[in-house]
């Protein structure tokens, strides 16, 4: 299986990439990242050395960059792109507030031009862990913080292999 990852330089996307590669020795991946050097986590270094992971430097909001990850047939696209938030006096501020929208539009344009249809999985950790406090007020009241936090903590517990 060959997967394309958008937004796998850290967080949920990186963890899913790691687990995907460990699941089956035949799994390969291509990652669209703004800066390949941002993936300093040693979790995937071995897979890169084995040739199972390739990087495409680009911007997920640009159709021409997204198109590059489909040069080889992709079975599944996993997108976990997101902006970074910071707290200010007036509340949370995203560094790129439209990144999810713009990246989704670019991805849909590219997918529409393909002669096949890969699966698409969108992942978000919105509301999990420390993110719960920066969610919009309505979402904080309607989400189950404890459930989201438990899932987040479970996913980010380091893997232990015998």
Q: Are residues 56 and 89 in the same domain?
A: yes
152 has pLDDT over 70? no
The mean per-residue pLDDT over the stretch 103-116 comes to: 96
Query: Tokens for 73?
Result: 């047939």
Residue at token pair 């501020």 = 93
Q: Are residues 86 and 61 in the same domain?
A: yes
Residue of higher predicted confidence among 10 and 156:
10
pLDDT score at 159: 47
Q: Are residues 70 and 85 in the same domain?
A: yes
The mean per-residue pLDDT over the stretch 119-125 comes to: 83
138 has pLDDT over 90? no
- Find the CATH number of the domain harbouring 68: 3.40.50.720
Q: Are residues 92 and 156 in the same domain?
A: no
Q: Are residues 113 and 132 in the same domain?
A: no
- Dist. CA 137–CA 40, nearest whole Å: 34
Q: Are residues 66 and 146 in the same domain?
A: no
Query: Which domain range does residue 137 map to?
Result: 127-162
33 has pLDDT over 60? yes
44 has pLDDT over 70? yes
Q: Are residues 33 and 112 in the same domain?
A: yes
Residue of higher predicted confidence among 75 and 88:
75
Q: Are β-strands 91-94 and 85-88 bridged in parallel, bridged antiparallel, or unpaired?
A: antiparallel
Query: Tokens for 123?
Result: 């992942």
Q: How many domains does the chain have?
A: 2
| pTM for the full predicted model | 0.74
Nearest alpha-carbon partner for 137 in 91, 79, 88, 83 = 91
pLDDT score at 161: 42
Q: Are residues 84 and 131 in the same domain?
A: no
102 has pLDDT over 80? yes
Q: Are residues 141 and 112 in the same domain?
A: no
Q: Are residues 120 and 135 in the same domain?
A: no
């Amino acid at each position: 299986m060959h997967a394309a990852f958008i937004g796998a330089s850290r967080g949920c996307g990186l963890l899913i990439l790691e687990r995907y590669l460990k699941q089956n020795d035949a799994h390969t991946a291509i990652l669209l990242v703004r800066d390949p050097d941002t993936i300093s986590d040693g979790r995937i270094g071995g897979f890169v050395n084995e040739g199972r992971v390739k990087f495409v430097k680009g911007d997920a909001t640009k159709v021409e960059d997204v198109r590059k990850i489909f040069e080889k047939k992709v079975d599944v696209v996993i997108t976990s792109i997101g902006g970074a938030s910071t707290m200010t006096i007036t509340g949370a501020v995203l560094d790129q507030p439209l990144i999810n929208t713009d990246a989704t539009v670019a991805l849909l344009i590219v997918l529409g031009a393909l002669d096949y249809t890969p699966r698409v999985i969108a992942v978000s950790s919105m509301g999990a862990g420390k993110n719960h406090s920066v969610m919009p007020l309505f979402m904080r009241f309607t989400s189950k913080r404890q459930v989201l936090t438990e899932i987040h903590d479970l996913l980010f517990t380091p893997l232990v292999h015998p």
